[in-house]
Amino acid sequence: MRTARQVDDGRAPWCALRRNRVRWLVSLAVMLVTHAHPVGAQLAVNRVELVLRTQDLTARDALIGVRNESNGPQQAVVKLEDWDRALDGANRWYPYGSRPGGGSCGAALSIFPQSMRLDPGATQSVRVLLDGAKAPAGECWAAAVVETVQSVERGSQRVAYVLRTAVKIYVQPPGLRAEGEIAELRLVSDSADGGTSAGIEVAFANTGTRHVVAGGLLEVRRPDNAVVARVPLPDVYALPGARQAVRVRMPDLPPGKYVFLATMDYGGVDIAAALLEHQKR
């Protein structure tokens, strides 16, 4: 097993563990930008993601079902948008086609209809179409966004707000690779309590050519390799070339020397791993 060591300066290099030595369950849950059933929901969708493949004639279009779950008629706008994620995993939104070279599918995707009116209990399908000849050479991604305008009474005022439900879309050419590494493993202060307690941050870098969902584990060991604690890491959702950092609280440890071993299974051949030595005073 190859390992990488350092002492608390926050720049632990990464190492890889063979899959037949370390196994960790990867959650296949995919993030939905806004829940399909928020408080006071009017419309619900039946998908959280779509995967379209340029070389598969049976996977070049897909349907999204939209249902009116309210007691009155509802109108909605349906559109494509570009998106990516910040370092903390938060979704960021852009006009569709505005990020060439940044994952946008551009002219490869179209959507129909772009507006709808549904009576109570009615369902309508939204069709997403892929033109494989116009798809980028690498994986691209977009989102089908269903928007409705709602209003609530607050005293003598009426407040309008927009409800958005997004279905992630990935377009995949053949030959994509799942690869990744733990680019950084470090101690951080917890800003929620004024920085008085420590946490551990793990930054995962997607070095492959397809998006991945990675599940991980942090083990705390003594110098004699005895395991003191195991802490599950939050799942990571990383687009190609992107990083995402997750944090966990420092376990309650007595004074002494420890080694933190972080591992992440992203679905590739190897398991990404990193080591960090720590002295608890």
- Going along the chain from its start, the domains and CATH numbers come out as 15-28+177-280 (2.60.40.10), 43-172 (2.60.40.10)
Phi, psi of 191 (to 5 degrees): -65, -20
Q: Who's near 250: CB < 8 A, 6+ residues apart? A: 187, 197, 198, 199, 200
What is the CA 33 to chain-centroid distance, rounded?
A: 10
The C-alpha atoms of residue 212 and residue 264 are separated, in whole angstroms, by 11
* pLDDT given for residue 21 in this prediction: 34
- Pinpoint the alpha helices (H) of 88-167: none
Q: Among candidates 147, 169, 138, which has minimal Cα distance to 30?
A: 169
Residue pLDDT tens, the chain, 281 long? 333 333 344 334 334 444 433 322 222 222 233 333 343 458 999 999 999 999 887 778 899 999 999 899 999 999 999 999 999 999 999 999 998 778 999 999 999 999 999 999 999 999 999 999 999 999 999 999 999 988 777 878 888 888 899 999 999 999 999 999 999 999 998 665 555 568 999 999 999 999 999 999 999 999 999 999 999 999 999 999 999 999 999 999 999 999 999 999 999 999 999 999 999 88
In whole angstroms, how far apart are CA 157 and each of 148, 151, 152, 153? 20, 10, 8, 6
Q: What is the pTM of this model?
A: 0.79
